[in-house]
Structure 1
Amino acid sequence: MSNAATRTTGQERLWSVDDHLEDILTTVRPLEPIELQLLDAQGCVLLEDVTVPVSLPPFDNSSMDGYAVRVADVAGASEEFPAVLTVVGDVAAGQADQPYVGPGQAARIMTGAPLPPGAEAVVPVEWTDGGLGEGPVSRMRAHSTSPEGSSGQVHVHRPAEARAHVRAKGSDVKAGDRALEAGTVLGPPQIGLLAAIGRGTVRVRPRPRVVVLSTGSELVQPDEELGTGQIYDSNSFALCAAARDAGAIAYRVGAVADDAETLRSTVEDQLVRADLMVTTGGVSVGAYDVVKEALSSVGDEDEEGGGIDFRTLAMQPGKPQGFGSIGPEHTPLLALPGNPVSSYVSFELFVRPAIRALMGLPDVHRPTIRAKLSADKALTSPKGRRQYLRGTYADGTVTPVGGAGSHLVAALAHADALIVVPEQDTSVEPGTEVEVVVLG
């Protein structure tokens, strides 16, 4: 008997939600780290602390278009009695050589340009007579530097304190500071910071590649015409979107008919691009034989530890589940129920944590909170099963949406939380404090 076959014994035991999840998280291991270009690292988890090699900004620079001046030269300046300064030159962003600003002098300066030597502050162009009635850029361009290095005079109408309108060197981050901690998920601001400190590549754990596959001969793709007894394949779309939301690179495979050989062939073809495979449908009692036959012999089933374990969980919705590994690389596979709500709830409870574990994140779970139940009547739940009801959460209160049916897709679309009813509770009265899993 192959190892794959011996693994298929979970149906003989009633698994708790916690035990099933623990088995998944103890099996799934973080992906191996790689070095990636910045834009390729978006959404990945940083593997190591990043230290700032050079301060930001790297030099004192102007936060305004204006004039670089000495404080003493503009002290007491007013509209009636302006300070009259000799303009000794221009300072533009990226300019290597700056004029020296001595007593009674000023230098025209652009936003982001280095503060020239001798200057102590910047007065905005609006505080001067530079090109009255024109915009800041036009005012600055109205005075061109003369061949002698001086471009006339400027009248300053207001005083300026030391360092006014000056961005200090290192005021953002200083050389030697820790820019980002290991474990950070790299979004646009983090990638911008890495670029700003000169990092072109970064060492990360890659985003997991998740292949989502629906099973069922009754499934039809959206935009196609429905025949008798057929329904549209919504699960693969919802789960693919959920995988991307969790941080994965998700690939959706069209629905596969209830045929073991077709399913086996499709799964084998997809293994090359999968760090995790997710199937939906075909795990209830009536489909056990076909799915077991298909998934237990994918790739090299004689490799130790391979195979899929089909289980019965003490939960509603989502009682039938499958978990194991397939193929020569022991790719993890989670087989979810086919009912839309069962499928999505199962994803949130089991697949999302597996994706986050592959990413190497320390906290893989959705946040949970306590909230007061707002309902017209008591909630009922089957004894011995942990029930997950859809709800909306606001201001410390959670309200059920729709019923307990595992086919209610419309209600699911309006929910932003899962209401948890423990195994030992068969009824929950309105006003009771309940556990809530926050979605999104």
Structure 2
Amino acid sequence: MAQNFRRSVAQHREEIVRIFASVLEGRSGRPAELVSVYDAAARLTAEATVARNSLPAFDNSQMDGYAVRVDDFPESRAESASATFHLAPVIPAGTHPVALAPGFAAPIMTGAMVPEGATAIIPIEAVISAVGTEPHSFPDFSNDDYLETVTVTLPRPPRGQFIRSAGSDVAAGTVVIEAGTVLTPRHVGLLAALGIAEIAVQPRTEVLVLATGDEVQAPGETLKPGHIYDSNSAFLSAALHEIGVIPVRVSVSSDTVAEFERRLEEALAAHPNALAALTTGGISKGAFEVVKVALERSGIEFGSVAMQPGGPQGCGILEPSARHSGEHFADHAVHPVAVISFPGNPVSTAISFEIFVRPLLAAIARGETTLNAAMQRAHHQAILQLDSPELSVTSPPSKSQWRRGVVSTDPANGERLVQLLGSEQSHLVFALAQANALVNIPEGTAEAHHGDTLTVMMLEEG
């Protein structure tokens, strides 16, 4: 039987880091997945990506204008040096032009292939004069008359002017994305520009989400007397999805140990590679604490953390060989699974997830291995803003309090400022929805005043 623990927030963080590090250590690499570039954003690359083609793939025009041969101009360093040309056929983007003959200028559009022989592009705005058309407008290309009737006088350009050379952005054979890169829309655009349709990525991490309670109903159902809607599953699923983890929502369990065990066993069987299971409710000191009863026999520890809200907590590793009631609890598990149990109060669940789990799972989804660093990175300092200098906030003598707040930036000096939202009470879901940060009032704080520096955790920041 696991022993009940009493921990500080820092101690509980350290234990959860240890649990995830241990679970990850025992996992072998899973085969990479090939995904379409259209579905690749936020995925972690499994291998380096090498450009098979150059970018640009061909010399192309940077401007709408005229493609010319610089050697057709008189040799002169005078700024007024110019030459007059008959026109070659127009070159729209997406066509393969014929070679440019000496003595001709080819109308060319932005992005169009530069014809063989051309050594510079003169923008249409730079045309000195024209016969048969306006100087700064192209002639009518609807028929070929312009080839006989139009001439343009152009200034001598520098060699290579406004030509984007093949491979000037990316040369074929260049490693453009390293292995272990979290793909952004910018990466996806690069892949598509290089003609890469699929990319090898790491399989996404799966995490089970189990909310318990006879009183819990799914949103959209007609609420029975004394019941509440299941916001915990919705919050955790959305938070996991946001950091690149696949949430596996397990149907809400009733307040019976057998039902909870059955649902968890079915989920493990269906998702044998799940990294973790997050549970909500059923871990306190009530008469129907089914999560605690079911999981304690498998080595999961339960106890209290000196924090408000979110005191009751549970965590541990569910081993494939874990037994209870004479049966394998995780017969179908291929790997050890991290189990993190939160209290059932929605705000307590959300705050517990943000403090103990989000930074770790976000780092794991990014392929990071230094989990302690991920925890530290999530913390910032902000200056408390109260309505009056005479006001103050306090924390209980033996608990670290986590309040909801809004962090902004002082335009004068760039410092973070934080204002509190609502009270410290744990049921205020609306205040949590309006917040962008959690504000830590350290345990035993007699008074925190306007202008004091406090630790904050930015919400939705991994």
Global fold match (TM > 0.5): yes
- Using the TM superposition, give the Cα deviation of residue 417 of structure 1 relative to its aligned residue in structure 2, in angstroms: 0.9
After superposition, the Cα gap between the structure-2 partners of 1:65 and 1:130, relative to the gap in structure 1 and judged at 3 Å, is farther
- The answer as to whether partners of 2:131 and 2:149 remain within 8 angstroms in 1 is no
- Using the TM superposition, give the Cα deviation of residue 181 of structure 1 relative to its aligned residue in structure 2, in angstroms: 3.1
Alignment partner, residue 331 of structure 1: 337
Is 1:348 matched with 2:348?
Answer: no
- Using the TM superposition, give the Cα deviation of residue 268 of structure 1 relative to its aligned residue in structure 2, in angstroms: 1.9
- The answer as to whether partners of 1:25 and 1:357 remain within 8 angstroms in 2 is no
Could you tell which deviates more after superposition, 55-64 or 24-33?
Answer: 24-33
Alignment partner, residue 66 of structure 1: 65
Q: Deviations over 1:211-251 (max 9, x none)?
A: 32221111222232333222222111111111111111223
Alignment partner, residue 174 of structure 1: 171
Alignment partner, residue 211 of structure 1: 208
- Using the TM superposition, give the Cα deviation of residue 412 of structure 1 relative to its aligned residue in structure 2, in angstroms: 0.4
Q: Deviations over 1:293-346 (max 9, x none)?
A: 43467xxxxxxxx64222322222222122234422223222111111111111
Alignment partner, residue 55 of structure 1: 54
**Structure 2 length-normalised TM:** 0.79
After superposition, the Cα gap between the structure-2 partners of 1:156 and 1:321, relative to the gap in structure 1 and judged at 3 Å, is farther
- The answer as to whether partners of 1:43 and 1:207 remain within 8 angstroms in 2 is no
Q: Distance in 1 between matches of 2:126 and 2:317?
A: 71
Q: Distance in 2 between matches of 1:116 and 1:191?
A: 30
- The answer as to whether partners of 1:127 and 1:156 remain within 8 angstroms in 2 is no
Q: Deviations over 1:104-155 (max 9, x none)?
A: 212233332221222122234565669968x98x957435499xxx666442
After superposition, the Cα gap between the structure-2 partners of 1:404 and 1:186, relative to the gap in structure 1 and judged at 3 Å, is same
In structure 2, the residue corresponding to 1:400 is in which secondary structure?
strand
- Using the TM superposition, give the Cα deviation of residue 409 of structure 1 relative to its aligned residue in structure 2, in angstroms: 0.4
Is 1:100 matched with 2:99?
Answer: yes
Could you tell which deviates more after superposition, 187-196 or 231-240?
Answer: 187-196
Q: Distance in 2 between matches of 1:250 and 1:205?
A: 16
After superposition, the Cα gap between the structure-2 partners of 1:71 and 1:111, relative to the gap in structure 1 and judged at 3 Å, is same
Could you tell which deviates more after superposition, 20-29 or 389-398?
Answer: 20-29
In structure 1, the residue corresponding to 2:86 is in which secondary structure?
strand
- The answer as to whether partners of 1:216 and 1:256 remain within 8 angstroms in 2 is yes
Alignment partner, residue 14 of structure 1: 7
Q: Distance in 1 between matches of 2:309 and 2:190?
A: 44
Map residues 116-195 of structure 1 onto 2, 5 A cutoff.
116-125=115-124, 141-144=141-144, 153-156=150-153, 160-195=157-192
Match of 1:36 among 34, 37, 40: 34
In structure 2, the residue corresponding to 1:286 is in which secondary structure?
coil
Q: Distance in 1 between matches of 2:216 and 2:33?
A: 41
In structure 1, the residue corresponding to 2:398 is in which secondary structure?
coil
- The answer as to whether partners of 1:90 and 1:109 remain within 8 angstroms in 2 is yes
Is 1:393 matched with 2:411?
Answer: no
**Contiguous gaps of at least 5 residues in structure 1:** 1-5, 298-305
Map residues 242-391 of structure 1 onto 2, 5 A cutoff.
242-271=239-268, 272-273=270-271, 274-286=274-286, 289-295=289-295, 307-326=299-318, 327=330, 328-329=333-334, 330-359=336-365, 360-362=367-369, 364-365=374-375, 367-376=378-387, 377-391=391-405
Q: Distance in 2 between matches of 1:130 and 1:225?
A: 79
Could you tell which deviates more after superposition, 21-30 or 319-328?
Answer: 21-30
Residue type of the partner of 2:358?
Answer: R
Higher relative contact order, chain-length normalized (CA < 8 Å, sep 6+) = 1
Q: Distance in 2 between matches of 1:71 and 1:260?
A: 85
Q: Distance in 2 between matches of 1:335 and 1:178?
A: 43
Alignment partner, residue 433 of structure 1: 453
Residue type of the partner of 2:432?
Answer: L
- The answer as to whether partners of 1:418 and 1:439 remain within 8 angstroms in 2 is yes
- The answer as to whether partners of 1:130 and 1:142 remain within 8 angstroms in 2 is no
Is 1:236 matched with 2:233?
Answer: yes
- Using the TM superposition, give the Cα deviation of residue 162 of structure 1 relative to its aligned residue in structure 2, in angstroms: 3.5
Could you tell which deviates more after superposition, 277-286 or 151-160?
Answer: 151-160
Alignment partner, residue 85 of structure 1: 85
Could you tell which deviates more after superposition, 198-207 or 407-416?
Answer: 198-207
Alignment partner, residue 403 of structure 1: 423
Alignment partner, residue 412 of structure 1: 432
Q: Distance in 2 between matches of 1:190 and 1:318?
A: 40
Q: Distance in 1 between matches of 2:86 and 2:374?
A: 63
Q: Distance in 2 between matches of 1:43 and 1:342?
A: 28
- The answer as to whether partners of 1:67 and 1:106 remain within 8 angstroms in 2 is yes
Q: Distance in 2 between matches of 1:65 and 1:204?
A: 40
Q: Deviations over 1:349-387 (max 9, x none)?
A: 223234234422356446322111112422211223332
Q: Distance in 1 between matches of 2:81 and 2:167?
A: 36
Residue type of the partner of 2:306?
Answer: A
Alignment partner, residue 301 of structure 1: none
Residue type of the partner of 2:118?
Answer: A
Residue type of the partner of 1:56?
Answer: L
Q: Distance in 1 between matches of 2:288 and 2:237?
A: 24
In structure 1, the residue corresponding to 2:286 is in which secondary structure?
helix
Residue type of the partner of 2:345?
Answer: N
Alignment partner, residue 19 of structure 2: 24
